[in-house]
């Protein structure tokens, strides 16, 4: 089982994230006024999803193609014991608990402008 989320506001205008077999789990809105940057909206739409299958690379690439490259937006998901962190045009895959793999993704996030306090995905 593959499960994750994407923030609606992180998608490029006109982009569609619709991989085959994707199922919606939950959609909610949260107020992030206390942690959003000046360039980010104060309300975020969290879209939780899941998928069966083993095409982790295809799913990650689909996300990498639709994410907004500005402001360090990313999405992440799990596939078994693997963590996948996706930025616009860039995918990181590592085993959960792999500190070096996580550090590489965090370091990249910093280079593209992801605020430090938002580099907090769960293992």
Instruction: Supply the pTM of this predicted model.
Output: 0.93
Tokens 């992030």 label which residue? 32
Residue 71 pLDDT level (bands cut at 50, 70, 90): confident
Structural domain contains residue 76? yes
Host domain of residue 10: 2-113
**N-terminal to C-terminal alpha carbon distance within the chain:** 16
Structural domain contains residue 90? yes
| SS3 assignment, position 22 | strand
Predicted confidence (pLDDT) per residue in 31-60, tens digit: 998 877 778 889 999 999 999 878 999 999
DSSP run (H or E) holding 93: strand 90-95
Per-residue pLDDT, averaged over 8-13, amounts to: 96
User: In the chain, count of helices (H) and strands (E)?
Assistant: 2, 6
Structural domain contains residue 101? yes
Structural domain contains residue 26? yes
Structural domain contains residue 122? no
Is pLDDT of 24 > 80? yes
Contact between residue 72 and residue 113 where contact means Cβ atoms under 8 Å apart = yes
Structural domain contains residue 38? yes
Contact between residue 86 and residue 70 where contact means Cβ atoms under 8 Å apart = no
Q: Torsion angle of alpha carbons 74, 91, 82, 24, nearest 10°?
A: 50
Structural domain contains residue 40? yes
Structural domain contains residue 51? yes
Q: Tally the domains of the chain.
A: 1
């Amino acid at each position: 089982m593959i499960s994750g989320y994407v923030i609606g506001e992180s998608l490029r205008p006109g982009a569609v994230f619709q991989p085959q077999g994707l199922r919606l789990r939950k959609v909610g809105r949260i107020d992030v006024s206390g942690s959003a940057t000046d360039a980010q909206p104060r309300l975020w739409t969290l879209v939780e999803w899941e998928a069966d299958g083993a095409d982790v690379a295809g799913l990650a690439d689909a996300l990498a193609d639709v994410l907004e490259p500005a402001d360090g937006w990313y999405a992440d998901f799990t596939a078994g014991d693997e963590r996948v962190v996706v930025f616009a045009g860039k995918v990181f895959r590592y085993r959960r608990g792999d500190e070096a793999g996580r550090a590489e993704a965090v370091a990249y996030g910093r280079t593209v402008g992801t605020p430090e306090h938002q580099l907090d995905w769960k293992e």
